Amino acid sequence: MIFQDRFARFGLAPRAMILVTVALLPLGLIALWQTDRIMKGEREAASRVLLVVTEKAAARERQIIERAIGTAAALGNTAQSLSDQPQLCAQTMRNFERGSAFYSFVGFVGADGYTGCGSVLRTAVADNDSLVMLMDSERPGLYVKRNPEMPEDSVLVVATPVFQNGTYAGHLRLHIPHVGFEPTADNLDGERPLGLVTFNENGEILTSERILKRARSLLPDGVLLTDLISNDPYTFTAQSTLGEERVYAVVPLVDGNAYALGTWDIDTSLLQSDAPYWRTIILAVLMWSASLLVIFLIMQLLVIRGIQRLRGQLRDFRDDRFLPIGDITARGELYELEAEFREMSGMILRDEAQLENAVHEKNVLLKEVHHRVKNNLQLINSIINMILRGARSDETKLVVRRLQDRIMALASVHRSIYQAQSMDRVDAAEIVREIVNQGVAIGLPRDSSVEVDVDLSPVALYPDQAMPLSMFVSEAVTNALKYVGSDTPRITVSLKNGAIGASDGDTHVTLIVANTTDAAIDDVEGTGLGSRLLRAFASQLEGELTTSDADGTFTLQLVFGVSQFEPEDEDMAQAAE
């Protein structure tokens, strides 16, 4: 739910872009996964190519070593058959050495380490380690013999053990100078490793394209050659002893006897992929960006622009009731939406016009009703004036005048209603002022010394409260005019919003009618008609009526709440019908 709320805060275009991103994410992940597989395949293919090129670069070493092993095996059989003819055996070995361009020594070395049949005189040519190795193994042995006085004259020794009746009798030994392993012009064609060394199963370097002392600078740092021995070719990446990142290729040359180690630059062209991984990522990001751009443009051109135009039309209609003119330019669903809006706005304008006409007619009728009621009340007042002129009793005249005041109070309310711009409420202050002025004009002579103070605040009341209030004011003013006295007679009429001492926002109204008196008068709780009418009108207003007579001033105070209009049940039923 929280996610939906946050998601809804985005605009239509961003939300569409987010949804497209979510939809494209699996495709992007699949594309990256497939690219990773392709890259792995390319790396494996590049590794195989590197191994093939390394094996090709070591082809000369393989050829020389394999030929030497085969030659040594054949000469071993010859030496064994001529073991009883040492002179002939030695001559045969010397003839073979002279006819060969690869070997610097050819001879049969006995178990004692001396040449019994060789191209040189009888001498010790084998050390104890080589003898032990050959005696314990039935396979040919390869190792390097160095000349301490002349290191560049080191040779590769190829020795094949010779057994007689299952017992080690010696070994046929060939010496191959390292000069013979230098690559020829044919070997230098094409891609070649930075360095190439061969080593035996004991981790001893047999041959190198560089001087043997410098060959170790090409080896991986911290790795023993014996750890690299494997019957299967493979590649790996490591730092050389010089601290340079290199790629190494290990290829077996002679099973169990010799291995080739090629050193390649990490940036060799054989390892370069036609489609680097970062290009795939950039391509995926570009496709994603292009998709978002297309979605953004589509939303802007086909959806958002039309919605903004429709929103502007809605705003114009809301503020100024302005209807759009011209043809609808939108297409599809937006066309239907704008067409529905135009039809709806036209219906609203027509309904509003009809409603305004109905309200105007109702106001005219209500004003006419109140105007006629006021005229009828004035007509009744005129009739009462005619009766008053014919009356001879003062008591009768007083009663008729009190009745006349009540009728004129009602007439004042109706006059205020039909003269007001709004017929639902009337200004109670205007009604009170008119009643006071009318009562003073009738109840006091022109040369009267009574001072009348009126302090009225605007109070909006519904007619249901304005009627009893006007009657209450009429009775209260008549009572004040009747009992006003003292040396400085004064009548005070006050109408204020809020009860006395109440806080702001109070919805009560306070009406005060006070007059000075010569002596104490009976409280309004008496038995007269005026007092009963005052209590009745106060009860109708649901107000609180209090009186006081102190310091020569009689005060009549009414506090009531402003009520809302509540139609009677009969009116509600008629409205429902």
HEC-encoded secondary structure of 61-83: HHHHHHHHHHHHHHHHHHHHHCC
Element (H, E) at 352: helix 333-390
Q: What is the pLDDT of residue 513?
A: 93
Q: Is the whole model's pTM more than 0.85, yes or no? A: no
Give dist(CA 77, CA 528) in Å, integer.
Answer: 164
Element (H, E) at 450: none
Q: What is the chain's pLDDT, residue by residue, as a tens digit (577 residues)?
A: 454 555 556 677 777 778 787 777 787 777 777 777 777 777 788 788 888 888 888 888 888 888 888 888 888 888 888 877 878 888 888 888 888 877 888 888 877 777 767 666 555 555 545 555 665 566 788 888 876 556 567 888 888 888 877 777 788 888 888 776 766 555 545 577 888 889 988 888 888 876 655 667 778 988 888 899 988 999 898 888 888 888 899 999 887 789 999 888 877 766 665 555 667 678 778 888 888 888 888 777 777 777 878 888 888 888 888 877 777 777 777 778 878 888 888 888 888 889 888 887 887 777 777 788 778 878 888 888 888 787 778 777 777 777 777 777 777 777 777 676 666 778 889 888 988 888 888 778 877 888 999 999 999 888 888 888 888 988 898 888 888 887 788 999 999 987 765 555 568 899 999 999 876 555 444 447 778 888 998 999 899 999 998 888 899 999 999 887 555 555 444 444 4
- Residue 469 contacts residue 456 (beta carbons within 8 Å): no
Task: Please enumerate in sequence order all residues whose Cβ is within 8 A of that of 54, keeping only pairs 6 or more positions apart, or say none.
Answer: 193, 196, 233, 249, 251, 260, 262, 264
Grouping H, G, I as helix, E, B as strand and the rest as coil, residue 195 is strand
Give dist(CA 122, CA 85) in Å, integer.
Answer: 15
| Cα-based angle 129, 132, 137 (whole degrees, multiple of 5) | 125
Grouping H, G, I as helix, E, B as strand and the rest as coil, residue 448 is coil
Q: What is the pLDDT of residue 493?
A: 93
- Residue 525 contacts residue 460 (beta carbons within 8 Å): no
Is 58-182 a CATH 3.40.640.10 domain?
A: no
Give dist(CA 102, CA 175) in Å, integer.
Answer: 8
Give dist(CA 12, CA 182) in Å, integer.
Answer: 74
- Residue 21 contacts residue 10 (beta carbons within 8 Å): no
Strands 451-456 and 490-497: parallel
Give dist(CA 544, CA 559) in Å, integer.
Answer: 5
Domain pair 58-182 / 424-564, same fold? no
- Residue 219 contacts residue 241 (beta carbons within 8 Å): yes
Locate all alpha helices (DSSP H) within 9-107, ordered by sequence. Answer: 12-57, 59-81, 86-99
Give dist(CA 239, CA 246) in Å, integer.
Answer: 6
Task: Please enumerate in sequence order all residues whose Cβ is within 8 A of that of 351, keeping only pairs 6 or more positions apart, or say none.
Answer: none
Q: What is the pLDDT of residue 526?
A: 44
Residues 182-197: b if buried by 16+ CB within 10 A, e if exposed: ebeeebeeeebbbbbb
Domain boundaries, the chain: 58-182, 424-564
CATH number of the domain located at residue range(s) 424-564 in this protein: 3.30.565.10
Q: What is the pLDDT of residue 365?
A: 78
DSSP string covering 490-509: EEEEEEEES-TTPPTT--EE
Element (H, E) at 8: helix 2-8
Residues in the chain: 577
Give phi and psi for 550, each to the nearest 5. -145, 145
What tokens appear for 570 in the block? 């009969």
Q: Considering only CA atoms, which of 209, 278, 265 is closest in space to residue 50?
A: 265
Grouping H, G, I as helix, E, B as strand and the rest as coil, residue 146 is coil
Give dist(CA 221, CA 342) in Å, integer.
Answer: 83
What region, left, alpha or beta, does residue 170 occupy, with left being phi > 0 and alpha being psi -120 to 50 degrees?
A: left
Give dist(CA 101, CA 354) in Å, integer.
Answer: 124
DSSP state of 217: G
- Residue 250 contacts residue 259 (beta carbons within 8 Å): yes
Give dist(CA 493, CA 516) in Å, integer.
Answer: 12
Locate all alpha helices (DSSP H) within 203-256, ordered by sequence. Answer: 212-215
What tokens appear for 273 in the block? 């992929």
